[in-house]
Structure 1
Amino acid sequence: MELMNLGVGPAPLVPEAAAGDFVLTGHVLRPLSLSVEQLRGYSSMLAAPFDLRCFTTNRYIRRVGRYRGVGLTDLISEAGLRNDAPGDFKRMVFVAAAHDGYAVTFSWHELFNTPVGASALIAYECDGEPLSVEDGAPVLFSGADIMAAPRHVKRLRRIDVQVLRPL
């Protein structure tokens, strides 16, 4: 599917994220630029510990402890989604990218209409210990996924909100 701009101006520019920071941009009313330290000021949620396994081979990578972080939907709600045309929100995708270019997606329906959204978080702590940039902070984690590895994004840099063009 092709991403499109629905004829509205771009969201206000937000500077590129420094190591340890990330931005939430795109089809939002109020772009956000947040550091790991700023995330600590939000209401937090906990994720259950899990085994990280390779998606393609199911090879065990490591045990990951209990993440603490901010709900992804809480941050998206704070940024506010633009709904320039009726039903835009139903065609929204959220592209999350790491500093190394690794990228994953969520749909609006997943985040706001399924249990996935209730367990997707941006972590700043693991097993009660602060995560540093060297540990991969900030970490995007989708706790409701059957396989955790594909949407376990270390060193999150950007989440860009896009609206898919109707077919």
Structure 2
Amino acid sequence: MKTILLFLIVFISVHTKAQFLSSSIKITGDIKSPKSLTIDSILKAKSIILKDIAITNQRGELKYTIKEAKGVPLLSFLRSVECAVERPKELNNYLLTFKSVDKAAVIFSWNELFNNPLGEKTFILFELDGKSILDSQGGQFILYSQTDTYSGRRYLKWLSEINYHKVNEN
């Protein structure tokens, strides 16, 4: 009986991790050419080490601290994405939705990322405290915005998609 119980626990644990595995980040939506980021393309980019990341909830209460994280600036990838616009002014109406494998979502405006210091402080993390995120979190990528007051609101585990879309102008 103990053997069966142990087997079930291990099976459920492995299945749950596999369920949230993101092998790439798809960049889609109202853009000229869809792209895909893999762990290899992210590892080849210039990485940055962030220290003492405090993850807080919506009330500012500390949930946990990450001693060290390794990641790449989000804009190092997004700058090469061309929005399907006729005039640059149309970019004011764009939102970027970041989605995870488990259907969670985080939204940034185009201006927030490209016309604000926040954009330079938003990262795709791939390593936490010296371990691959795959080992410690079950997915490969985390979106993290360093300038957010309540960091947990846009700390998105299992990042799998970035979707550009134009807001209805009506």
Q: Same fold judged by TM-score > 0.5?
A: yes
CA RMSD of aligned residues (A): 2.1
Q: How far apart in 1 are the matches of 2:100 and 2:157?
A: 6
Q: How far apart in 2 are the matches of 1:115 and 1:48?
A: 19
Q: 1:133 to 1:126 in 2, by over 3 A?
A: closer
Q: 1:79 aligns with which of 73, 81, 86?
A: 81
Q: Conserved in 1, the CA contact under 8 Å of 2:128 and 2:136?
A: no
Q: Which residue of 2 aligns with 1:142?
A: 145
Q: CA deviation at 1:132?
A: 1.0
Q: CA deviation at 1:134?
A: 5.1
Paired-residue identity, %: 23
Q: 1:23 aligns with which of 13, 21, 26?
A: 26
Q: How far apart in 1 are the matches of 2:126 and 2:87?
A: 35
| Partner deviation per Cα, 1:70-129 (whole Å, 9 max, x = no partner) | 221221112222223451211111000111111010011111111110111111122343
Q: CA deviation at 1:142?
A: 0.5
Number of aligned residue pairs: 150
- TM-score (norm: length of structure 1): 0.79
Which stretch of the first structure deviates more once superposed, 156-165 or 27-36? 27-36
Moved over 6 A (4+): none
Q: Which residue of 2 aligns with 1:108?
A: 110
Q: How far apart in 2 are the matches of 1:100 and 1:31?
A: 22
Higher helix share: 2
Task: Write the letter of the residue equivalent to 1:32.
Answer: K
Q: 1:43 to 1:58 in 2, by over 3 A?
A: same
Q: Which residue of 2 aligns with 1:66?
A: 68
Q: 2:54 aligns with which of 35, 47, 51?
A: 51
Q: How far apart in 1 are the matches of 2:51 and 2:96?
A: 23
- TM-score (norm: length of structure 2): 0.78
Task: Write the letter of the residue equivalent to 2:122.
Answer: A
Which stretch of the first structure deviates more once superposed, 114-123 or 85-94? 85-94
Partner SS for 2:76: helix
Unaligned runs of 5+ in 1: 1-16
Q: Which residue of 1 aligns with 2:161?
A: 158
Task: Write the letter of the residue equivalent to 1:40.
Answer: L
Partner SS for 2:134: coil
Q: Conserved in 1, the CA contact under 8 Å of 2:95 and 2:107?
A: yes
Q: How far apart in 1 are the matches of 2:36 and 2:111?
A: 24
